[in-house]
Amino acid sequence: MKSCIKLLIATLLVLNASFGYSDSRPNIVYVLIDNWGWGDLSAQGGNIQTENIDEFARQGLRLTNFNVQNQCTPTRSALHTGRLPIRSGTYKVPAPGEPDGLAAWEYTLPELLSDAGYGTALFGKWHLGMTINKLPNTQGYDQFWGHSEGTNASSYTSTAQFDPSVATVPYIWEGVKGKDATKVRLFDLEARAVMDREITEKSIDYISKMAKSGKPFYIYIGLTHFHPPFLVHPDFENKSKAGVFADTVMEVDHNVGQILEAIKVAGIEDNTLVILTGDNAAGVFPAEGLASGEVSGSNGPWRGGLSTAYEGGMRTPAMVRWPGKIPTGKVSDEIFADLDWYPTIAEIAG
């Protein structure tokens, strides 16, 4: 049977001949952007230039028919398990107080890669379990820094109605495999504004360290933009002169560019598979932090958005680069889904 990656490439009609694996297994970098509308990058019609992301797309394969679940939690579940979220009870974003998270017996992608000898790390948003026994460091990640629930949780403590007996006080956590995670600091609006900068910096440090070690690694980078509340790092406040959403687009493009540059500087660009996708579409409702009438993202020509079952809610940008394995400058409209990454990455890792 053809391997998943060969099947993917053949299906997408971008590889003319089969290929073999080198003795050195590739590093794998997965960058997930939250609530990323199909039309939010300039290569797909966006009004705000995303130069770094567009250039990355030209260096590999851009998927214009990449399909996900319609909310954050189920897509992240599909990516981590390769299973339909309804199979694991993670088919929607849990409300405060509802049961949440993956069961301990789910065999996650980072567990598989860890068992195969990869170093594993997650920086950023998790959203697959809030309790101490369901955080990323209990699900296969050697190390973890980030927050455990939806980014909207950062605004909880700022509201007059907040009741800690109903909704848990949100924190930023860090942890390592084999030990309980610990609280770093409150995840509030102040922390939310600088969150993606911190995620990027920690990811860059990890990439640099692992490149020097010579051990293959898998890093999952869960950026928090474009999820409400819309706040940007001070360096990007009013940088676009077109509102906070445009500022956010600029910050996302900058952070992605920094991560890609770190891979290049580390000298591992040719042996690193980089995947960049969204987790679901942009919202089609007024979002916290946006000015009255300000647009909160574009789903391109597709009907619907976040939390809907229309194509606008379940198509999101996606692109992948693997120098020497995936030809450059390719675009495909063949169907590919979040569920497909698990077996594909597993095959690549041998």
For residue range 207-224, list pLDDT tens digits in order: 999 999 999 999 999 999
Sequence spans of domains, the chain: 4-14+28-128+191-348
pLDDT classification of 21: cutoffs 50, 70, 90: very low
Instruction: Indicate whether 22 pLDDT > 50.
Output: no
CA distance 329 to 156: 43
In degrees to the nearest 10, what's the CA dihedral of 109, 114, 120, 125?
Answer: 30
pLDDT of residue 166: 82
Question: In this predicted structure, what is the pLDDT of residue 293?
Answer: 67
pLDDT at 110: 98
Which amino acid, residue 241? Answer: K
pLDDT band (50, 70, 90) for residue 16: very low
Does residue 327 carry a pLDDT above 90? yes
The tokens for 323 are: 């120098």
pLDDT tens per residue across span 70-96: 999 999 999 999 999 999 999 999 887
Can you tell me the distance from the alpha carbon of 248 to that of 23, in angstroms, rounded to the nearest whole number?
A: 40
**Band of the pLDDT at 252, cuts 50, 70, 90?**
very high
* pTM of the complete model: 0.92
Give yes or no for residue 12 having a pLDDT over 60.
no
CA distances (Å), 202 to each of 45, 52, 178, in order? 31, 20, 21
pLDDT value for 19: 39
The pLDDT value given to residue 13: 31
Average pLDDT, the chain: 91
**Quick one: pLDDT at residue 128?**
96
pLDDT tens digit sequence for 114-172: 999 999 999 999 999 999 999 999 999 999 999 999 999 999 999 988 898 888 899 99
Tell me which CATH code domain 4-14+28-128+191-348 carries: 3.40.720.10
Quickly count: other Cβ atoms within 10 Å of residue 153's Cβ: 21
pLDDT at 7: 46
Catalytic residue numbers?
72, 127
CA 345/CA 348 separation, integer angstroms: 5
Give the Cα separation of 88 and 66 in Å (integer): 22
pLDDT, tens digit, 9 for 90 and up, residues 334-345? 999 999 999 999
Q: Give the pLDDT confidence score for residue 8 in this predicted structure.
A: 54
Q: pLDDT band at residue 231, thresholds of 50, 70 and 90?
A: very high
How confident is the model over 257-295, as pLDDT tens digits? 999 999 999 999 999 999 999 999 998 777 777 876 676
